[in-house]
Structure 1
Amino acid sequence: MPPKLSVSGRSLLPMRDVLRCSITRAQFSTAVGHRDDSLLVRVLQVVDPRASVVPVLEQWVADGNSVQKTELLKLTKIMKDYRRERHALEVSHWMSDRRYFTLSPKDIACRLGLIYKVHGIKEVEKYFDQIPKGVLAFGPYDVLLRCYVEENNVKKAEALAQTMEELELGSSFSYNLLMKLYSQTGQQEKINNLLKEMEEKGISPDKFTFYILINAFGFACNVDGIEKLLKEMKKDPRIVIDWYTLALVAKGYMQAGCKDKAITMLKKAENLVPLRKNKIAFSFLLTLYGDLEQKDDLYRIWNHYSTSERTINSVYSCMIGSLLKLDDIEGAERILETWESCFIIYDFRVPSILIAAYCKRHLFEKAESYINTAIARGRKPSAYTWDRLASAYLEDKRIQKAVETLKKALVIAPCFWKPNPVTVDASLEYFEQQGDVEGAENFVRLLRPIACLTREVYHRLLKTYILARKPVSSVLGHMEQDGFNVDNETTKILEDMTCLKS
C-alpha cells in the first residue's frame, strides 16, 4: 500500500510528497512525469499559498534555463487545477510583465477568472477596462459576465450582455449565464423572455440551457415545467438523456416537494451511471439521497460503490455529509474510521465535516479528541477546522477559548480564506473589554494577510486603545493607510469614548 501522506505544511517537501498533495490521480500522474528539476516541480514545492512563486520563476531563468509561453500556460493551468489561484495569477502576470509574451484573448480570459478568485470583482473590472479593444473577444466578455452572475448583479450583467449583443458577441453561452442569474434571483418571467429571444434570433438551446431551465423550474416549484422540458429534451436529437439529466430532474422534483417522484427519477438515473469514471455520479446520488432522507438507499449506493471502486476522498466526504444530514453521527463515524484505515492522500477536509458536526452539537470532547489525536500523528488541522471550533466555543459562551482557537486558524489561513466575522468581532470585543492593546494589535496583525481589515475592525481597535488610555494616532494612521478615512462614526467613537474615559 502507498505511504499515507498529509496535505499540509509550509516548508519545502521532497518532490514525490509535494506532487502527491494534489487533487486527483490524473494530476499526480501528469506531474510525476516531469524531471526532478523542472520548473513545475520547483513551483509545486512552494506549498505555502501565501508565499510568492515569482522568486522561483526568476531563479529558474537566472540558472540559465529557457522558458516558453506554452510551458507557462501549462503551469498556470496546473496551479488552477490544484486550487492555487494566487500562484496561477502570479505566473500569468510574470509571463507578460517579465517575459513579454503576448496574451491572446483566451489568455486574458483566464487571467480575468484568476483575478476574480484572488481579488474580487472590483479588480476584475479595473483590469477589463485596461484591455485594448482590439484584443477583446468572446472569452474576456464571457468571463466578466460570469463574474457578474456569481455576484448576482443583474443590472451590470444585463448591461454587459447588451454590449456583447451590439458587438455581435452574443451566444447560447451568454444566454445561459443570464438564465442562471435570473434563476438565482427568482426572476422566472425574464427566463421565459430570454427563451423567446433566443428562438427569434435562431440561437438553439444546448444541453446546458436545459440544465439551467430544470434548476429554474425546480426553484420555482414548477413541476409541469420540469416534465414538459424533459419531454422536449427527449424529442431533441442533439440532446442525450444521461444520468445527470435525470438526477437534475429528481433534484427539481425534490425542490418542488414531490419526494416520491424524485426518488423514482433518481433510481432511473442510477441505471444510466457508467461503469467507469463514475465518481461524480455516485457523489451526486449520495448527496441527493441524503437530502431526500433515504438512509437505506444511501447505504445501498455506498456499499455498491465502495466495493466496486477505489473510493476517493470526495466520495467519503459526500457520504459523511449525507449521513450527518440524517443525524446519523455513529454511521458517519464508522465511514470516517474506514477512510482512516485506507486513505492514500490524507486530507483534513474529510474529518473536518464530522468535526463541524460535533461543534454544531456542542460535542466538544469528541471534536477536541479527534483534533488532538490527529496533531499527535503529525497531521495539521485546516483553518476552517479551527474556525468552526472557535465559533462553537463562542456559541457556548467560552470566549477566551474561542479567541485562542481563532488565532490558530488565522496563523495558518491561506490568503483567500475568510473567518467567521461574528467570531472575529467577538474576539475584538474581548480584547476591548480586557483593555488588552497588545493582544488586539497581534490579532489585527493576523487579520491583515487575509484582507480582513475593515472599518469595524479598526473601530474596535480604537475603543481598546481609548479604554486602555493609549494614544490613538497610530491606529488612525493605519486606518488611513488602508483606505479608511475618519468618518462620522469614527468621530463619534472618539468623542464618546473620550468622555467615558474621563
Structure 2
Amino acid sequence: MMLLIRSPWNLCRDSRVLGSLFISTRPVIRFSPHIDSLYLRISRSGDPNISMACLLDQWVEEGRPVKRSELHKIIKQLRKYRRFSHALQVSEWMSNEMNNQLPTADIAIQLDLKSKVHGLDEAERYFSSIPETSKVSKVYCALLNCYAEHGYVEKAEAIMQKIQQCSSISVLTYNVMLSLYCRLGKYEELETLMEEMKEKRICDRYSYSIRLNAYAKTLDIEGMEKFLLQMEANGAAVDWHTYALPAKAYIKAGLSEKALQMLKRSEHLINESSRTRRIAYETLLNMYAAIGNKQEVYRVCSMCKNLGRSRNSVYVSMIGSLLKLDDIDGAERILEEWESDNTCSDMRIPNMLIGAYCKKGLLDKAEALISRYLKLGMKPEGTTWAHFANGYKEQNDMEKALEMVKKAIMADRPVSRLNPFTLSACIKHLKEKGDSEYAGDLINLCRQRGIITVGTYDRLFDYIQNDNPDAIMEQHFLLDRKYQPPDDEREDT
C-alpha cells in the first residue's frame, strides 16, 4: 500500500540542516555512496533533535513513494536500537497519512511507544481515543505491557480481566504478568499465577524462565535447584538460556564452580544454526569474565569469529569481558579486529577502551585514540566526553574536566547521566573561581536534559547560593538513583 502525501515538506529548509541529516560520518562504508534509501537516511540520523516527519516529508517531496511495509521495518529497527522517540515519530507520520485508520497491530505499537516516550498518562489518553471497534485483545495486551513496565499491578490485573472478556488469555499475556510480579518481588502472586497456567497447560519455556529467574533474583539457591530438577523431570522445554539463569545466580552467590558447570551445560545447548547463537555467545563471555575465567573468555572469543561478519554487539561483549579481566592488551587487539571488519561506526566500542584508559589515568592513550577517530570522521558521543571528564577530574585538571562536561552535555547524543562526583567537583571549581552564574547555568542545562535528578539539582544550587558544603557530600550522591555507571562500564552480568 502506497501513502500519498498531502502536506508539503516545510520543516527543514536550512541547507546546513540538510547537510547534517544526510552526510554520513562513518570511517568505512562498504556500499556504493550512490545507494540511497529511506531506511539508510533514517538509520543514520541518530540525533534525537532531528525530526523524522521532516525527513519523511522531504523524501516524498523528492517524488519517492513510501511503502507501509518499509515503515514497519524502520519502526522495528528503531525500537530494537531503543530510538523510541524516532520510532514514534515515524508511527505518527504513518498514522496521519492514513487518516488515523491504522491496523490494530500498528495501534498497539504506537501505544507502547507513547508510553515509553511521553509516559503512561499520554498512553492512556491515546488508548481512550482509540475506537471501540479497534480495542481488541492485541491492543489491550499493549496497554497491559505499559502498566507492567511502569509497575502498576492493580491496573495491569484489571486489564487482564478485560482481555479475558475479549477472548481467552494467551500465554504471552500471562508471561507479562509473571514478569511484572517477578520484577516487583511479588512472588506469592507469581506462584499463584504459575499454578493457574500449569492447570491450563499453557506454560511455555518463557514462563519457566521467568519462574526460574524469580528464584535467581532472590538467591533462593535451594528453591532454584529444585525447580530446575522438576523442569527436567517433567520434560519442560529447555535451551541455553535455561541454564544461563542459574549460572547468573551462582555467580552472585559467589559459587563459581557451580556457575561454571551451568555455563558448560548452557553452551552445550546452543544451536549452531540458530539466530540466538550470537546472543548466547555474548552471554557466555560476560559470565565467564564475571567468574574471572580468562581461558574460557578467549575460547568463546575465538568461537565468535565463526559468526561471519560479527555484529558490533559481539565486539562490545568481547572487549567488555576482557576489560573486566583487566586485560587491556587483549581488548586493544579486539579493537583492531573490529576496525578491520567494521562496516558502520559505533562509538560504543572505542568508548570502552577510552573509559578504561581514563579510569587507569592513561589519558595520553585515550587522547591519542579519540584523535585518531576524529580524523576518520567518527563523531564522539556524550559518553565519550564523560569518560574524559572523569579522568581529568581524577588528575585534578579541573579546567579540562569542565570542558569535557560541557561537551558531554552538548553532544548530538548527549550523555544520559554524569558522574555526580565529577559534576560537583566542576561546580565547586567554578564557585571557587567566583563564577557562580556559570555554575548555575550548567546545573540548569543538566536538569533540562534530564542528566541529573531534582535532588541533585537542589543540592548543587544549595551549595552555590548558600555556600553549604554539606550539600555536595558524597553520601548524598550515592543515594541518587539516577546515577549508575555508563552501560559500557557496568560490572553486572
Q: What is the TM-score of this pair, normalised by structure 1?
A: 0.75
Counterpart AA for 2:218: A
Partner of 1:229: 227
Q: Is the 2:88–2:110 contact (alpha carbons within 8 Å) kept by the matching residues of 1? A: yes
SS of the aligned residue for 1:288 comes to helix
Partner of 2:475: none
Partner of 1:205: 203
Partner of 1:306: 305
User: Could you say if the C-alpha distance between residues 98 and 303 of structure 1 is closer, same or farther in structure 2, counting changes exceeding 3 Å?
Assistant: closer
Partner of 1:280: 279
**Cα deviation digits, residues 282-334 of structure 1 (max 9, x gap):** 11111111112211111222234336744332222212212222233333233
SS of the aligned residue for 1:274 comes to coil
Q: Superposed, which structure 2 residues align to 1:68-467 within 5 Å?
A: 68-161=67-160, 163-165=162-164, 170-200=169-199, 202=200, 204-236=202-234, 239-276=236-273, 277=275, 278-306=277-305, 309-395=308-394, 397-414=396-413, 417-420=416-419, 423-424=422-423, 427-428=426-427, 430-436=429-435, 439-440=438-439, 443=442, 447=446, 450-452=449-451, 457=457
Counterpart AA for 1:383: G
Partner of 2:14: none
Measured after TM superposition, the shift of residue 465 of structure 1 is 8.8
Q: Is the 1:383–1:409 contact (alpha carbons within 8 Å) kept by the matching residues of 2? A: yes
Counterpart AA for 2:370: I
Q: Is the 2:38–2:59 contact (alpha carbons within 8 Å) kept by the matching residues of 1? A: yes
Aligned counterparts of 1:13 and 1:177: Cα–Cα separation in 2: 40
Counterpart AA for 1:262: A
Q: Is the 1:217–1:226 contact (alpha carbons within 8 Å) kept by the matching residues of 2? A: yes
Counterpart AA for 1:241: V
**Cα deviation digits, residues 46-78 of structure 1 (max 9, x gap):** 453321122232234445555454443333234
User: Could you say if the C-alpha distance between residues 37 and 411 of structure 1 is closer, same or farther in structure 2, counting changes exceeding 3 Å?
Assistant: same
Q: Is the 2:446–2:452 contact (alpha carbons within 8 Å) kept by the matching residues of 1? A: yes
- Structure 2, unaligned stretches of length 5 or more? 1-17, 468-493
User: Could you say if the C-alpha distance between residues 179 and 441 of structure 1 is closer, same or farther in structure 2, counting changes exceeding 3 Å?
Assistant: same
Measured after TM superposition, the shift of residue 91 of structure 1 is 1.5
For structure 1, which segment, 83-92 or 125-134, has the greater mean C-alpha deviation from structure 2 after superposition?
125-134
Q: Is the 1:76–1:92 contact (alpha carbons within 8 Å) kept by the matching residues of 2? A: yes
SS of the aligned residue for 1:11 comes to helix
For structure 1, which segment, 289-298 or 176-185, has the greater mean C-alpha deviation from structure 2 after superposition?
176-185
Counterpart AA for 2:49: R
User: Could you say if the C-alpha distance between residues 36 and 356 of structure 1 is closer, same or farther in structure 2, counting changes exceeding 3 Å?
Assistant: closer
SS of the aligned residue for 2:20 comes to coil
Aligned counterparts of 2:189 and 2:181: Cα–Cα separation in 1: 7
- Structure 1, unaligned stretches of length 5 or more? 1-8, 22-27, 468-502
Aligned counterparts of 1:293 and 1:317: Cα–Cα separation in 2: 18
Counterpart AA for 1:273: I
**Cα deviation digits, residues 387-429 of structure 1 (max 9, x gap):** 2332344455544332210111122243794444554555455
Q: What is the TM-score of this pair, normalised by structure 2?
A: 0.76
Q: How many pairs align? A: 447
Aligned counterparts of 2:279 and 2:289: Cα–Cα separation in 1: 15
Aligned counterparts of 2:194 and 2:419: Cα–Cα separation in 1: 40
Measured after TM superposition, the shift of residue 41 of structure 1 is 4.7
SS of the aligned residue for 2:134 comes to coil
Measured after TM superposition, the shift of residue 40 of structure 1 is 3.7
User: Could you say if the C-alpha distance between residues 13 and 241 of structure 1 is closer, same or farther in structure 2, counting changes exceeding 3 Å?
Assistant: same
Q: Is the 2:316–2:349 contact (alpha carbons within 8 Å) kept by the matching residues of 1? A: yes
Q: Is the 1:436–1:464 contact (alpha carbons within 8 Å) kept by the matching residues of 2? A: no
Counterpart AA for 2:313: S
**Cα deviation digits, residues 428-462 of structure 1 (max 9, x gap):** 55545545376357646854873558766489679
For structure 1, which segment, 244-253 or 285-294, has the greater mean C-alpha deviation from structure 2 after superposition?
244-253
Q: Is the 2:27–2:378 contact (alpha carbons within 8 Å) kept by the matching residues of 1? A: no
Q: Is the 1:50–1:415 contact (alpha carbons within 8 Å) kept by the matching residues of 2? A: no
Sequence identity percentage: 38
Q: Is the 1:316–1:350 contact (alpha carbons within 8 Å) kept by the matching residues of 2? A: yes
User: Could you say if the C-alpha distance between residues 449 and 137 of structure 1 is closer, same or farther in structure 2, counting changes exceeding 3 Å?
Assistant: farther
Aligned counterparts of 2:398 and 2:325: Cα–Cα separation in 1: 30
SS of the aligned residue for 1:346 comes to coil
